[in-house]
A and B are shown apart, each in its own frame.
Chain A
Amino acid sequence: MEPTAGSGDPADAAGATASVVTLHVNGVARTLAVDHRTTLLDALRERLSVTGPKKGCDHGQCGACTVLVDGRRMLACLLPAVAWDGARVLTAEGLSEGGRLHPVQAAFVARDALQCGYCTPGQVCSAVGVLSEAAEGHPSLATPAGPARTGGGLPPPVRLTPEEIRERMSGNLCRCGAYAQIVAAVGDVAP
């Protein structure tokens, strides 16, 4: 990350208002100078024309901006782009490389898990994140307490029941109310 010279703006004490970062977006290294106030969401949408991630609230309250950062689902509107130099960012566009839909996307189409579509890229990314979290054994509020684990080793995967899916997908609002179809779509792809 290279700080670039500031404008002398008194609001910017350090004298630098932008920095050069490299984001690996959908497998392509993109190097750009980002305003320190720019969120990852705005960097993607306004600077890189990657508009799959949506701005529903800009405050971490809706999930429309969900992307996968280094494999984890995150809310791009809450991430200052300057802090994510070198990160690997995957969006709904990148999940379907070469025109082939990701299995989650195919399930969303098959189940009609969308209406207006504005929440959809975020739902899709969130669902991909859920699948790996469950595979890695991350519990949720809906996960039954298992026997206390003593030794090391990996936790067992969590089975994605509809209740688990609903709980884990509840950070992604859908005002159109496509929830039943979304839960079914995620269930189709879950192991």
Chain B
Amino acid sequence: MTGAGRAAGDLERREAREKVTGRARYAAEYRPEGRLHGRPVPAAVARGRIASVDVSRALAVRGVVAVLTHENAPRLAAPQDPTLAVLRDDRVPHRGWYVALVVAETPEDARAGAAAVEVVYEAEEHDVVLRPDHPGLYTPEEANGGHPAVRERGDPDAALAAAPVLVEAEYRLGALHNHPMEPHAATAEWRDGGLTLHDSTQGGNAVREVLAGMFGVHRRQVTVVAEHVGGGFGSKGTARPHAVLAAMAALHTGRPVTVALPRRDLAAVVGHRAPTLHRVRLGAGPDGVLTAVEHLVVTRTSRVREFVEQAAVPARVMYGCAHSRTAHRVVALDVPTPSWMRAPGEAPGMYALESAMDELASATGVDPVELRLRNDTDREPDSGRPFSSRGLAACLREGARRFGWEGRDPRPGVRRAGGVLTGTGVASATYPVLVNPSRASARAEPDGGFRVAVNATDIGTGARTVLAQIAAEALGVPPEAVIVEVGSTALPAASLAGGSAGTASWGWAVHRACTELAERLAGAGGRVPPEGMAVDADTRGEADAEVPWARHAFGAVFAEVRADTVTGEVRLARLLGVFAAGRILNARTARAQFTGGMIMGAGMALTERSSIDVRFGDFAERDLAAYHVPVSADVPDVRAHWIEEEDPHLNPMGSKGIGEIGITGAPAAIGNALHHALGARLREPPFTPDRVLAVLRRTPPG
């Protein structure tokens, strides 16, 4: 069963009308009386220090109210996250690091003021290029998500040496940028010693903690509001410099200030997906059954903060085998600080692993779907724990059926029509089940209505709608009877919208509060007292309890591509995903999450390319004209389906997270389809015309 059915809640998004009529307000759209505009000044060298700053010309620009630099900015406590330590000292750790903020009456004045700030740098030699033999490479203590950097089982070297079939391949992925459509922005206002911040963030509670700490006020004096957020994809998962700058400038000037970052600044200051170099070795029998898996990842971080993209982690989850080594090494360079981007670890890691699996299919002559079925496992290979549920095989079979995989001619490079070659490919998808403790309150009103409050953030996932469904189900009332309040730290504290954990985390607390409320109401004979009846819930100790299972969502993605051998252009004809992610709570918002992720995966495979400018030391592709996110014409046919999964070991709703898994299978599926089309393999996305033509020149198709 896929699609509708039990996932009955196919409810219209609660905020849809506000959004289509332009009435939904985002962080930069709050205009408290007297509001000013802040424009940051990015550093123009990749490494060094500020020798001097002359702000006199900037201050003379009409409308400029203040210029903040490290010399005069309010002194704040040191943040735990050093990427937030803006305007504290004269160090420039990477190009694009903010060195000043101009505050002015209008955006035009602020921009002119920023252009007039004169910064003299003492530049130092910079080192920005990731190489597999970089002498600074080291093994970190752990990779993102708290994963151990290195894991080893059995004797991988011996097993690989003895394997009848050995696949050995290197894959390279460049940096990628989140680029949510709403650039990061915050509007800050101090009043009576308290700060109100309208922020474009995925989690207001964490931003509140950070700002309260830095500004030395109690958390109760800080309110962070994020009513509508124009996407984040990880880049708004933690407090970002714009929020600190806005709060600083508002304190300094005594007036409300909006800091809305220019698009071209984002690549340097809000995180990005770090480039990763992969070496994968698969040892298998002639039947394609794996004996050994080795996945070695080399990546880079900044000198500001260590962030290690955990790209070797999916190899610890995916396929059964007796011998395995998965390891990460990292080097700190003079580059912007990488951070979370949709499915950190899984997105690049599954590209490499699933491409290697396709190479193994070619090497053994086993059908790629069948190969994955043969290597299915009911225990997580690395931990030995049983999966709470694992729908990979069902997804592969259902996907193959829907895609029309059966009868596929495995020969690569033979489907030619004029100058165009066609191919199909498949890849598995996976994402872990994460959940965080949260609080929520539920209240019965004497008029028969219900009110649920939780500081969830709706970054486009449909959180309001799904939480209303969860509440309504627990209360036994129609969803229309439930008002859901989200998006402010004035509400019960909740975890961020990230790690695909939002619905599970918030929903668990909402479910608990509503279940208890329903019980108390029943105990009172269904009568609501005149003052109403309220229940608070906190899932600490429950949602974060250790469990004996390995919990992951799985999926299978199928792609069909057409490659033009004359122009080198690759067009995506079809992309079809089938996912097993527990119970799907709302069909329409779930489909949007799956397909949205798949489209971002298509971008990763075909259009999104970022490179470091070696001379200047930062990203060359900083705006949307140079960094190509997929447009409608790029993704003509993207479909998502799902397998209903009953898994009692998740949360009261039985759901797994769905926000990220969509991106994890698509890039390899597209790469594998491209190999099937061309008969030659590209191992470095995106598969842009220059790269396709280069490979065709080396290996012309048959």
Contact = CB atoms under 8 A, between A and B. Distances in A.
B191 interface: no
Contacts of B108: 35, 37-38, 42
Interface in A99-121: 101, 105, 108-110, 112, 114-121
Residues of B contacting A: mostly: loop
B511 to A, nearest CB: 24
B181 A174 contact: yes
Given A54-B182, A59-B623, A116-B180, A7 B461 contact: no
A167 interface: yes
A93 B20 contact: no
Contacts of A179: 599, 630-632, 635, 638
Contacts of B20: 92, 96, 101, 105, 108-109, 114, 117, 120-121, 124
Interface stretch (A43-51, A68-76, A131-139, A151-159): A43-51
A118 B624 contact: no
A112 B16 contact: yes
B181 A119 contact: yes
Contacts of A17: 62
Query: Which of B12, B233, B633 gathers most chain A CB within 10 Å?
Result: B633
B16 A175 contact: no
A177 B635 contact: yes
B9 to A, nearest CB: 12
Contacts of B588: 112
B231 A115 contact: yes
Nearest to B31: A49
Contact of B19 (A7, A11, A45, A114): A114
Contact of B263 (A9, A57, A95): A57
A176 B638 contact: no
A68 B63 CA distance: 31
B596 A178 contact: yes
B26 to A, nearest CB: 7
Query: Which of B181, B183, B228, B588 gathers most chain A CB within 10 Å?
Result: B181
Given A109-B17, A181-B592, A118 B231 contact: yes
Contact of A176 (B24, B460, B624, B634): B460
A93 B182 contact: no
B633 A116 contact: no
Contacts of A124: 20, 22
Interface residues of A, number: 64
A102 B647 CA distance: 43
B29 A167 contact: no
Given A42-B107, A53-B22, A95-B21, A170 B633 contact: yes
Contacts of B623: 57, 59, 61
A36 B29 CA distance: 22
A101 B26 CA distance: 21
A64 B183 CA distance: 11
A7 B461 CA distance: 48
B22 A173 contact: no
Residues of A contacting B: mostly: loop
Nearest to B459: A116
Contacts of B636: 162-163, 166
Given A115-B461, A180-B595, A46 B633 contact: no
Contacts, number: 190
B23 A52 contact: yes
B179 interface: yes
A166 B632 contact: yes
Contacts of A57: 183, 263, 623-624
A117 B182 CA distance: 9
Interface in B248-276: 260, 262-263
Nearest to B662: A177
B625 interface: yes
A179 B635 CA distance: 8
A172 to B, nearest CB: 8
Nearest to A17: B62
Contact of A112 (B228, B592, B600, B635): B592
Contacts of A101: 17, 20-21
B596 A56 contact: no
A58 interface: yes
Given A61-B625, A169-B632, A175 B179 contact: yes
Contacts of B31: 49
Given A37-B108, A167-B633, A176-B596, A93 B230 contact: no
Contacts of B634: 170
Given A61-B624, A105-B21, A120-B19, A182 B632 contact: yes
A115 B15 contact: no
Contacts of A171: 631
A91 interface: yes
A160 interface: no
Contact of B600 (A163, A177, A178, A183): A177
Nearest to A141: B633
B19 A175 contact: no
B106 interface: yes
B230 A117 contact: yes
Interface in A14-42: 17, 35, 37-38, 42
Contacts of B229: 116
Contacts of B455: none
Q: Please name the 8 residue pairs, one residue from A and one from B, whose CB atoms are nearest each other, closest first.
A: A52-B22, A118-B230, A116-B460, A117-B19, A92-B22, A177-B599, A115-B460, A177-B596
Given A119-B181, A180-B638, 9 more contacts: A57-B624, A114-B19, A116-B229, A117-B228, A175-B233, A177-B597, A177-B630, A179-B599, A180-B639
17 contacts: A49-B31, A50-B22, A51-B29, A52-B23, A54-B181, A54-B230, A59-B625, A93-B23, A96-B21, A112-B12, A114-B16, A116-B228, A116-B229, A116-B230, A116-B231, A176-B181, A182-B632
